[in-house]
Amino acid sequence: MEKAKQCLGRSITVLPNEGHAKFFTLAQLLNGQDSLELYKQGISILTSALPRLEDADDKKEAAKDLSSAHCAIAELYMTDLCDNPEAEAECIQSITNGVEVDPTNAEAWQTKARLHLIKCEFDQAKTDLNKSLDLWLPNYMAVLENRAHEASKEAFDPVEVCPLLFTTRLVTARMLIELEEWEKANQVLDGLTEEDDEVVDPWYLLGWLNKLRADFEKDQIYTGNARYFLNKAKEVHAKNPTQDQEMVRHIEELLTELGPEEEEAEEEGDAKDEWEDVDSDNNEDAMDE
């Protein structure tokens, strides 16, 4: 990490007014004000270069990069820089810039939804998050269900099925769960387990989602699902441990709350009865003697 920072810093020193990518990459490795300043420099360079681009694909890619950089600044104001007096105003402006620069950037709409969620504006959050999902989820599900031919040729990219990173989609799923968009959360998480079944987070979130549905809808099928996914999360954690100890604790808490499956409970009860019978027989024999 330190060597990467040094190389990127050297690259910026050598060509301080060219190449936005190195600014954005280094910004991702830093925090707070340092990260913010790098994003701003990269945005300035990219904004100046954008009008000079002639190729349509290059323009589209540059617009997406610019939009995502504005989203990254908004995220900084929602996290590291949230105590700054201007945080809310700057966050709103950055999100507005991100959406205006590229309205087809799913990340921009999701970032806007995240701000609404933080402010407990749930209806607006749901609206904007669904705008984000509309840009990628239908085609993504079509690919997962082997129906890629049904996806529109313009929207379907066989190289990059989904424009959002794995980690970004984990955030998507968490937001959908919080907004009680159960089915869409399930679709997003199913996709994540299809892509990589050795990450704990999607299994945990599937378990949590089904536990919430079991509590809300009073349907035993979700209880069974929750128990299955949470046990799967434990399995995956044993093979590929997560560093998120709070998640691990929550998995154990949820499983304790769910209790064992009925068959397991019956087997335990039968074993207990058998043990008590054997113990009773032994006591009687002892008394006879």
Q: Residue 216 — very low, low, confident or very high, per pLDDT cuts 50/70/90?
A: very high
How does pLDDT run across 149-186, given as a tens digit for each residue? 554 444 445 446 688 999 999 999 999 999 999 999 99
How does pLDDT run across 102-127, given as a tens digit for each residue? 999 999 999 999 999 999 999 999 99
Q: What is the pLDDT of residue 13?
A: 93
Mean predicted lDDT score pLDDT of the chain: 88
> Mean of the pLDDT values across residues 33-43?
96
Q: What is the pLDDT of residue 204?
A: 98
Assign residue 152 a region (left: φ > 0; alpha: ψ between -120 and 50; beta: otherwise): beta
Q: Residue 286 — very low, low, confident or very high, per pLDDT cuts 50/70/90?
A: very low
In the predicted structure, residue 268 carries a pLDDT above the cut 80: no
In the predicted structure, residue 283 carries a pLDDT above the cut 60: no
How does pLDDT run across 69-100, given as a tens digit for each residue? 999 999 999 999 999 999 999 999 999 999 99
Q: Which CATH class is domain 1-103?
A: mainly alpha
Q: What is the pLDDT of residue 140?
A: 87
Q: What share of the chain in percent tops pLDDT 70? A: 85
Q: What is the pLDDT of residue 150?
A: 52
In the predicted structure, residue 201 carries a pLDDT above the cut 60: yes
Do the Cβ atoms of 109 and 126 come closer than 8 Å?
no
Q: What is the pLDDT of residue 139?
A: 86
Beta-carbon contacts of residue 245 (< 8 Å; ≥ 6 apart):
none
Q: What is the pLDDT of residue 91?
A: 98
Higher pLDDT, 32 or 262: 32
> Mean of the pLDDT values across residues 119-147?
91
Domain spans, the chain = 1-103
- Which amino acid appears at position 198 of this protein? E
Q: What is the pLDDT of residue 250?
A: 97
In the predicted structure, residue 51 carries a pLDDT above the cut 60: yes
Higher pLDDT, 142 or 102: 102
Q: What is the pLDDT of residue 161?
A: 67
Q: What is the pLDDT of residue 135?
A: 94
Q: What is the pLDDT of residue 149?
A: 52
Q: What is the pLDDT of residue 271?
A: 44
How does pLDDT run across 5-25, given as a tens digit for each residue? 999 999 999 999 989 999 999
Q: What share of the chain in percent tops pLDDT 90? A: 78
Q: What angle do CA 29, 164, 160 make, to 5 degrees?
A: 110
Q: What is the pLDDT of residue 95?
A: 98
